[in-house]
């Protein structure tokens, strides 16, 4: 496997390793007792497989030359400058990997795309490899095998996925390559869950899946705004809608907004592809999913400021949760960036607690420009907001002398906090802004909190 990005770090139950990367410090961490990412259950899998059928190495050329199948899991970040900046995927790392693979190709190989890529990327990769490999007589087949693991449940998704998708060219050679990869997954995945398709369908399916999941979140978030002004309850609406078997209940939970490394990046990529193919109306349709997500975050900040007498200047706001979702330390595109940024712009003091996010991560996310997180030149934080952003080791310390609590990540531990204790140590009136709808709001009001929640009727005290 080439690359140790978020996809490449997944330990997998087949004999295709070693995993190789040119980044020594990443591989040292992967080969240590403490993995550089938090993912429930991943430590146990890596420990069980390491030095048996899972190996880590920086000797890229040696292992790629020996391999029959090469999985490529390099970054495909959103471009930050040049043509397509802010939308298009930057394939610099993919092309670099392809040229390196070409230089090591002295026998037939199957190259597998694991990264999320624009449609037709495989065609470009084929050209780069075939025109640069030393032995022009070697057979090269490029397959698309997009990753559908979700952070926080990646191990469970790996062991029992809804589906595995493998796309290849509909030629004799391409179909044979597809079946070879099918046989690898068939070691632990029922054959009926292994889907095969043509190459372009597989590449587009990943973008479409993420776009449609994000679309559902933005759809219910749009309704949450209407619920707040009409007295409806978004959770009741979502439950009623979700019981329709044609719709289903997944991804209908309203929140402060979606985040993570995939949804926004993939939708923007989809928008760019549509625009490049002259599909303006289609591009605008998908762009609205992003615009609604941005609106939801702005709306949440406005609710905080307007509820607290139209100013948070000099006030301490305790932010509980900075990761984009629970059970991960991933802060890429987390809604907390925009919420904290809005509060900082109004001169609030933001007190952050997240069980898996470091102080360095918090400062880094708030200092960097959009999309910089996925590029390798990322520099250490300069602590530009060191007087306004304070990080704590538990929720009670973060909430001490705070004017408000903001729940921005749905960590289970936040449900079980002693809210009477929190209330007693806060400035009054004490506010709670539940951006994930995970708390018992009636209980909080009985304690004395002024409570605002996403998509819930606004109760004026």
pLDDT at position 350, please? 97
Sign, CA torsion 249/252/253/259: positive
pTM above 0.85, yes or no: yes
CA distances from 343 to 43, 77, 194, 297 (A): 36, 28, 47, 12
Q: What is the spatial distance between Cα 70 and Cα 101, in angstroms, rounded to a whole number?
A: 9
Q: Mind listing the pLDDT tens digit of every residue in the chain (461 residues)?
A: 555 444 443 334 344 455 656 555 666 667 777 787 888 898 888 888 888 888 888 888 999 999 999 999 998 989 989 999 999 999 999 999 999 999 999 999 999 999 889 999 999 999 999 999 998 889 999 999 999 989 899 999 999 999 999 999 999 999 999 999 999 999 999 999 999 999 999 999 999 999 999 999 999 999 999 999 999 999 999 999 999 999 999 999 999 999 998 999 999 999 999 999 999 999 999 999 999 999 999 999 999 999 999 999 999 999 999 999 999 999 999 999 999 999 999 999 999 999 999 999 999 999 887 666 566 555 665 666 778 999 999 999 999 999 999 999 999 999 999 999 999 999 999 999 999 999 999 999 999 999 999 999 887 65
Options 49, 104, 138, 262, the catalytic residue: 262
pLDDT at position 380, please? 61
Q: What is the spatial distance between Cα 41 and Cα 157, in angstroms, rounded to a whole number?
A: 11
Catalytic-residue membership of 406: no
Q: How many Cα atoms are found within 13 Å in the side-chain-facing hemisphere of 182? A: 17
The three state secondary structure string of the chain is CECCCCCCCCCCCCCCCCEECCCHHHHHHHCCCCCCCCCCCHHHHHHHHECCCECEECCHHHHHHHCCEEEECCCCCECCCCCCCCCCECCHHHHHHHHHHHHCCCCCEEEEECCCCCCCHHHHHHHHHHCCCCCCCCCEEEEECCCCCCCCCHHHHHHCCCCEEEEECCCHHHHHHHHHHHHHHCCCCCHHHEEEEEHHHHHHHHHHHHHHHHHHHHHHHHHHHHHHHHCCCHHHHHHHHHCCCCCCCCCCCCCCCCCCCCHHHHHHHHHHHHHHCCCHHHHHHHHHHHHHHHHHHHHHHHHHHHHCCCCCCCCEEEEECCCCCCCCCCCCCCHHHHHHHHHHHCCCEEEEECCCCCHHHHHHHHHCCCCHHHCCCCCCCCCCCCCCEEECCCHHHHHCCCCEEEECCCCHHHHHCCHHHHHHCCCCCCEEEECCCCCCHHHHHHHCCEEEECCCCCCCC
pLDDT at position 5, please? 47
């Amino acid at each position: 496997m080439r690359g140790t990005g978020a996809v490449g770090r997944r330990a997998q139950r087949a004999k295709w390793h070693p995993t190789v990367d040119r980044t020594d410090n990443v591989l040292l961490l992967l080969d240590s007792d403490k993995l550089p990412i938090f993912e429930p259950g991943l430590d146990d899998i890596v420990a069980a497989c390491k030095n048996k059928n899972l190996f880590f190495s920086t000797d890229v050329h040696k292992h790629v030359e020996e391999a029959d199948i090469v999985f490529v899991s390099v970054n495909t970040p959103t471009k930050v400058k040049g043509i397509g900046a802010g939308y298009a995927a930057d394939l610099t790392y993919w092309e670099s990997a392809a040229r390196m693979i070409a230089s090591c190709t002295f026998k037939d190989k199957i190259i597998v795309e694991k990264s999320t890529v624009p449609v037709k990327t495989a065609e470009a990769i084929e050209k780069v490899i075939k025109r640069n490999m030393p032995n022009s007589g070697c057979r090269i087949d490029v397959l698309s095998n997009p990753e559908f693991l979700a952070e926080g449940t990646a191990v469970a998704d790996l062991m029992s996925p809804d589906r595995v998708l493998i796309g290849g060219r509909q030629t004799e050679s391409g179909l044979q390559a597809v079946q070879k990869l099918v046989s690898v997954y068939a070691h632990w995945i029922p054959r009926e869950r292994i889907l095969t398709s043509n190459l372009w369908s597989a590449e587009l399916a990943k973008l479409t899946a993420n776009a449609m999941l994000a679309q559902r979140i933005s759809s219910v978030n749009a309704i949450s705004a209407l619920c707040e002004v009409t007295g409806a309850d978004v959770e009741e609406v979502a439950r009623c809608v979700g019981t329709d078997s044609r719709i289903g209940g997944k991804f209908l939970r309203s929140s402060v907004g979606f985040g993570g490394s995939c949804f926004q990046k993939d939708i923007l990529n989809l928008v760019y592809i549509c625009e490049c193919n002259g599909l303006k109306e289609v591009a605008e349709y998908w762009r609205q999913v992003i615009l609604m997500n941005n609106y939801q975050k702005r709306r949440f900040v406005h609710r905080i400021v307007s509820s607290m007498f139209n100013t948070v200047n000099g006030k301490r706001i305790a932010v509980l949760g900075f990761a984009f979702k629970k059970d991960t330390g991933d802060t890429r595109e987390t809604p907390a960036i925009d919420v904290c940024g809005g509060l900082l712009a109004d001169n609030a003091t933001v007190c952050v607690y997240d069980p898996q996010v470091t102080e360095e991560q918090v400062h880094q996310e708030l200092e960097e420009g959009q999309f910089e997180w996925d590029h390798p030149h990322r520099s250490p934080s300069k602590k530009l907001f060191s007087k306004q952003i304070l990080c704590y080791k538990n929720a009670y310390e973060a909430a001490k002398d705070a004017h408000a609590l903001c729940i921005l990540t749905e960590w289970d531990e936040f449900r079980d906090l002693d809210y009477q204790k929190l209330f007693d140590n806060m400035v009054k009136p004490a506010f709670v802004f539940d951006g994930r709808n995970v708390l018992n709001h009636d209980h909080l009001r009985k304690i004395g909190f002024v409570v605002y929640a996403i998509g819930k009727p606004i109760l004026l005290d």
